[in-house]
Each structure stands twice: as C-alpha cells, then as structure tokens.
Amino acid sequence: MTSLAGSFLVARTTLRDSFFGQTVILMLQHGPEGAFGLIVNRRGKGQNLPFPVFVGGPCEAPGLLMLHGHEDWLTDKDNQEIAPGVFLGDAETFLRLNDTESSENPHDRVRMFSGYSGWGPDQLEGEMAQGSWAVVPASGDLVFDTPPQELWEQLVPPSFPQFSVN
C-alpha cells in the first residue's frame, strides 16, 4: 500500500455523503493501521477567536490542531513537513502567532482545526475502490493561498457524462 500522507483526498461528485460532499482533505497519516487527515476547505461557524477555525472532520480532537506555512518557525525537534510548504504546528508554534516582530501577518499562512477525519484499517481503501475520492498532490500554495470556498472546484477531477444508448 502506498501512503497517501501529504496528498489531498478530493471528494468526487459521486460521493453522496452529506458530511464529506465537496471536501478536500489533507492526509496527515495513512498506513495499515488506518488514516487521518484534515478537511482544509470548510470553515467553522460562530467562533470568537482572532483567527478562523476550520472543521477538520467529524472525529473529536482533544484541542485544536494547527497547520502552518512558516518554515522559519521550525525547530530541529518538530520538522514535520506534511506536504511541500505545509507543516504541522505544536504549542510552541501557536505562541508564534503573537510574534509582533514579523513583518507579515502570521495568520496568513496558518489554519486551525477543530476535529479531524479518520478511517480504520482498510476503510479508506474501500472508499477509494468505490471511486469516492481522487488523490491530488498537496502544497502550501493550495492550502494557504487558494480561498477555501474555491479549493474543491479547483481540484475536483472532471466528471464524465453518462452516454445515452439511444
């Protein structure tokens, strides 16, 4: 099995799941024990935080999860590049959001997530065999520079029309 970690799963138009329809999921882990990722194109609603929180998936996480695109924030111990230009954050990284010495807005290349998307052993492979998901290369430019509401339409593969036998 080839790991899908670092790739996007893009819901195909044939996926008829009310929660996962039109989602783009950045895969963080994928192996024989299952898979884990974050929906990167669905903002949460009604938070009173200084940054948007995205709905990472239907599974509950003990706190917020963070992705960022700031390579200069990395230390030797946390070099967790998920995809080119996308890094997994931790508590130290979260503190950098308040760094006022930065000339750019540090929130520009940060995504916070409540919840995650998870699959048990062979569950994702079954969904892939049914044609529910397309696998697309992920990058920081797509995660941080593409408006979330446009990401799915940009990445979803074209549907082929059903031809009539008439």
Residue-wise pLDDT for 31-53, tens only, equals 999 999 999 999 998 777 777 89
Main-chain phi, psi angles of 119, to 5 degrees: -135, 140
Is 70 exceeded by the pLDDT of residue 163?
A: no
Q: What 8-state DSSP symbol labels residue 107? A: G
Is 60 exceeded by the pLDDT of residue 161?
A: no
Task: Note the pLDDT of residue 90.
Answer: 80
d(C-alpha 153, C-alpha 156), whole Å:
6
pTM score, whole prediction: 0.88
User: Structure tokens of 34?
Assistant: 């299952």
- Domains annotated on the chain, with CATH: 7-155 (3.40.1740.10)
Residue-wise pLDDT for 68-86, tens only, equals 998 888 876 656 899 999 9
Mean pLDDT over all residues of the chain? 87
Number of alpha helices (DSSP H) and beta strands (DSSP E) in the chain: 4, 9
